[in-house]
Structure 1
Amino acid sequence: MTRWLNNDEQRAWRAFGLATRLLTDRLERDLQAAADMPPTYYELLVLLSEAPERTMRMSELAHWTNSKPSRISHAINKLEQKGWVRREHYADDRRGWLTVLTDDGLAALQTAAPQHVASLREHLIDPLTPEQLRQLGDISQVLLDHLTLHQEQTKHTGKGQGE
């Protein structure tokens, strides 16, 4: 039997859904306008900048961005054309590829980061009180833990819960 949402649940769901879509859209537009960079590219550059020797396997990039390998490969091709990354063969696996953040890529990230952080502050961090921000972090972590567990279960069984 379907457990329909009550009025409070419906209000919370609709506000959450619309707020996340509007926030994502605003952050994407601000990043594109400030740095001519879509969020996927920014996320990849951040991951590479934080990795040892600014290098990661393509499969790791796909995992950490929750993307299909073909989507990551396409994005890396575009970043390579800009000179922001380069690919190298993985020494232990001739079929595997590493992606390396170049100095130009690091410079592009350093140019984009201040505008991205300013947009995050304006549209997410600053409108909240410190208590609301803590609550948002707690709620987000609960959802992340739940969804990550569900995703892992789905990978191992090939089915979602309830199927």
Structure 2
Amino acid sequence: MSVLGEVLVALAILVGLVGIVVPILPGTILILGAIGVWAFLTGGSVAWGTFAIAAVLLVLSGIVKYTWPGRRMKDAGVPTRSLVIGGLVGIVGFFVIPIIGLFIGFIGGTYVAELPRHRANHAAAWRSTVHATKAVGLSILVELLGALLASGVWLGAALFLR
């Protein structure tokens, strides 16, 4: 693959990494797709082995991303409904206040969803909101770790094939 092609793959991977931290773009899919295109155009066992390792890392991080934080939220007693409401309000918040509205909306939406469940006990609703926010943060970190590892595998292979 040409240097320009590899730069474009690297840019797609970078956009994917940003998409994981600021969940606007499907970051994991972009990274997997970019490495897949690179493997297809580069060809050979090293390229396809790199793609396979990256795919396994991304799939494993995706599984852990949903199971580990979900278990912690279940242990804390935060229902999925509160997360869904927080997520929906976060999406609306993103369009009302670009970028930071996503975070403000998620926290506000989760808090408002938890308030009636705790019978207007603000402290208990806030504790649940903090648990939910920590779980979402943990989920993002797990996905980011898998994506960074997959990106590192690609970078190592791209440099090796140079």
Alignment TM-score > 0.5, same fold? no
Q: TM-score, normalised by structure 1?
A: 0.30
Q: TM-score, normalised by structure 2?
A: 0.30
Q: Which has the higher contact order (CA 8 A, sep 6+)?
A: 2
